[in-house]
């Protein structure tokens, strides 16, 4: 099977196994982001406005527009090789892939890449699917797709 197909099927299988359809709660997601994610990430739009988290937080990549983004593709961030490989193999962040990733980043990469030496540079896990769903609902608000139609379309990133 071509590698790309394998990667996509792997991500799909993980999605089904790891994701029970659940509508996240944006407010709960904001609180969870503040307590669990903003030590390493923020959400900064193309104009440089920090929409969540603190300025100059670059331990983890900017999560503005992360929903719909290819994994490991935020320009200028030094990702681990495994995450970049997953993205190049077709992994995009959506509810299913991000839920699986947040619950266990290393397992997600190992299963997706079919390589049990794959590693994640994110050493953090969300405890349960409900919290992941809340955080995803919160993050879905930030991105070009969610911006007003009359806003100037910022450059990709």
- List residues binding ligand HEC (CB under 6 A): 36-37, 39-41, 59-61, 66, 69, 71-72, 74, 79-80, 83, 93, 98, 102, 120-124, 126, 135
CB of 32 to ligand HEC, least distance (A): 6
**Residue closer to ligand HEC (CB basis): 26 or 148:** 26
Q: How many CB atoms lie within 10 A of CB 141?
A: 15
Quick one: DSSP state of residue 50?
Answer: E
CB of 60 to ligand HEC, least distance (A): 3
CB of 153 to ligand HEC, least distance (A): 20
3-class DSSP string for 69-103? CECCCCCCCCCCHHHHHHHHCCCECCHHHHHHHHH
Strand partners, 43: 52
Cα-based torsion angle of the residue sequence 93, 2, 14, 112 in order, rounded to the nearest 10 degrees: -70
> Could you tell me how far CA 130 lies from the centroid of its own chain?
16
**Residue closer to ligand HEC (CB basis): 123 or 152:** 123
**Residue closer to ligand HEC (CB basis): 23 or 109:** 109
d(CA 51, CA 60): 16
Start-to-end C-alpha separation, the chain: 32
**Residue closer to ligand HEC (CB basis): 36 or 107:** 36
CB of 3 to ligand HEC, least distance (A): 19
CB of 86 to ligand HEC, least distance (A): 8
**Residue closer to ligand HEC (CB basis): 52 or 150:** 52
């Amino acid at each position: 099977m071509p590698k790309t197909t394998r990667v996509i099927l792997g991500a799909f299988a993980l999605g089904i196994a790891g994701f029970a359809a659940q509508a996240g709660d944006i407010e709960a997601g904001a609180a969870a982001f503040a307590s669990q994610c903003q030590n390493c990430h923020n959400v900064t739009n193309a104009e440089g406005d920090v929409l969540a988290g603190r300025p100059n937080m670059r331990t983890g990549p900017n999560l503005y527009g992360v929903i719909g983004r290819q994994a490991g593709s935020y320009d200028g961030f030094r990702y681990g090789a495994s995450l970049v490989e997953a993205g190049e193999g077709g992994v995009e962040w959506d509810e299913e892939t991000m839920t699986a990733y947040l619950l266990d980043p290393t397992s997600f990469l190992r299963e997706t890449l079919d390589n049990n030496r794959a590693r994640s540079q994110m050493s953090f896990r969300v405890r349960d699917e409900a919290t992941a769903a809340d955080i995803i609902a919160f993050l879905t608000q930030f991105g070009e797709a969610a911006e007003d139609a009359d806003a100037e379309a910022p450059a990709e990133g």
